[in-house]
Amino acid sequence: MRKPFKGLWASFPYLDDAATVAAKLQQDGSDYSVLSPCPRHELYEAMGRPTSRLPWITLVFGALGIFFGYGFPSWTALDWVLPVSQKPIVGIPAFTIIGFELMVLLGGISTALSVVLLGHFELFRHKLPHSPAFKAYNRFSNDRFGIVVRCEEGDAAAMEQLMRQYSAEEVVREF
């Protein structure tokens, strides 16, 4: 953690309001985060369709899986040759199955892990409030949309004004 959280957060009962606020913040390029009970395309659009690097990780591990899937059986087969019924010692068709399975296995596990990890990396860069008030507030998992803005104390007034304008239920400053 480079610096403690400075800024304010607000909760919205309505999706369209939250989306609009997000869009505005996105427009004037302030550092903000959006919270919502479930992923919604409105918010996604409002935030300007952010992208994820996750697929690249999957690709790498998937490829690794294929490599092992062919490599390992071939090596074990050649390590000590045990012929079985005239079948080629390195049986590519047979090993294809192993290749496929390992690709899925490594690819899948790496994906799942990176979902969790990447999410947390982002949070290092864009912090959320640490205040007990924020922690105690558990309706984002239920039916409220939230916007967190990281800003200097000076801009706080303007920000709060913006939130209020879009009928934020409550706005909390944390400095």
Partner 1 sequence: MSAISYSDVNADILRTLERPKPAYFLLLIGFVTAFAIGVISWAIQIDVGLGLSGISHPIGWGFYITNFVFWIGIGHAGTLISAVFFLTRAPWRAPVYRAAEAMTVFAVMTAGLFPLIHIGRVWYGYWLIPYPNQRMLWTNFKSPLMWDVFAVTTYLTISVTFFMLGLIPDLASMRDSARGIRKFLYSSLALGWNYSYQQWLHYARGYLILAAFAAPLVFSVHSIVSWDFAMAMIPGWHTTIFAPYFVAGAIFSGLAMVITIMVPLRVVFDLKKYVTDHVLQSLARVILFTSFIVGYSYCTEFFIAYYSGVNFERAIFYFRPFGEPGSGLPFYPEGQMGFAQIAFFIMFFCNVISPLPLWRWKVRNNAIALFIISILINIGMWFERFNIVVSSLSHDFNPTLWGTYIPTPVECGITLGSFGFFFTMFLLFTRAMPTLAIAEVKEMLTPPYRQANHDHVPWREYATERSEDKD
Partner 2 sequence: MADGIRRRDLFKVIAAGGATTAAIAACADKPEKLIPYLLPPENIEFVPGMPLDYATTCMECPANCGMVVKTREARAIKAEGNPDHPINQGALCMRGQASVQTHYNPARLQTSMQRDGETWKQIPWDAAETAFANAIKAVGNKSQIVYMTGNASGTRGGFLDKWLSAMGASPKLVLDPLGQHNIKAANQLTFRRAEIPQYRIDQATLLVNFGAEFLETWLNPVENNRLYTTMHAYDDATKRKGRFVQVGPHVALTGANADHWIKAKPGSEPLIVLALAREVLSRTHGRAVGADRDRLTSYLEPYTLERAATESGAEAEALRKLADDFAKAEPGLALAGGNLVATTEGTQFQIAVNLLNYVAGNVGRTVLFGASRQIDLSSSHAEVEAVVKRMQAGEVKLLIVDGANPLYHLPASSQIAGALDKVPTIISLSSAWDETTSKAHLVLPGATFLERWGDAFPQRGVYSLVQPVMATYYPDVKAAEDTLLSVSAKLGDATFKATPTYRDYLRQAWQQVQKEVGASGDFEAFWRTSLQKGGVFRTVSFSSSVRLNPDALSGKPGVAKIAGEGLVLLPTVSLRHRDGRGASNPWLQEICDPVSQVVWGSWADINPVTAKKMGIAHGDMLRVKSPMGEVELPAYLHYGVHEDAIAIPMGEGHTHSGRNADGYGINVLDLLPNAADPQSGEFAYLTTRVQVERTGKPGYLVQLDHSPRQLGRGIIQTQTVEQARAGENTEEHDPEEMKHGHPYFDFYPLREDQTPGYHHTYRWGMTIDTERCTGCSACVAACYAENNLAIVGKTRVGLGREMPWLTIERFIEGEGDSFKALMQPMLCQQCGNAGCEPVCPVYATYHNQEGLNAQIYNRCVGTRYCSNNCPYKVRRFNWFNYEWEAPLNMQLNPDVTVRSKGVMEKCTFCVQRIARARRTANGEGRDLRDGEVTPACVQTCPTKALTFGNLADPNSAVSKKAMRGRNEQDKRVRQYEVFPSLKQHPAITYLRKVTFEPINQEA
- Which residues within the stretch 41-100 sit at the binding site for partner 2 (CB under 8 A)? 81-89
- State the minimum distance, in angstroms, from the CB of residue 65 to partner 2: 21
Question: Which residue, chain included where needed, has tokens 């949070």?
Answer: 123
Residue 30 binding partner per list partner 2, partner 1, none, with a CB distance cut-off of 5 to 8 Å that depends on partner kind: none
Q: DSSP secondary-structure letter at 85?
A: T
By a kind-dependent CB cut-off of 5 to 8 A, residue 38 interacts, out of partner 2, partner 1, none, with: partner 1
Considering only residues 17-46, where is the footprint of partner 1 by CB under 8 A?
Answer: 17, 19-20, 22-24, 26-27, 29, 33-40, 42-43, 45-46
DSSP 82: -
Q: In residues, how long is the chain?
A: 175
Q: Where are the alpha helices (DSSP H) in 35-139?
A: 41-46, 54-79, 92-125, 132-136
Sort residue 167 into left (φ over 0), alpha (ψ -120 to 50) or beta.
Answer: left
Q: At what angle do helices 92-125 and 54-79 cross, to 10 degrees?
A: 150
- 108-167: which residues touch partner 1 (CB under 8 A)? 108-109, 111-112, 114-116, 118-120, 122-123, 125-126, 128, 138, 140-143, 146, 148, 167
**List of residues contacting partner 2 (CB under 8 A):** 81-89
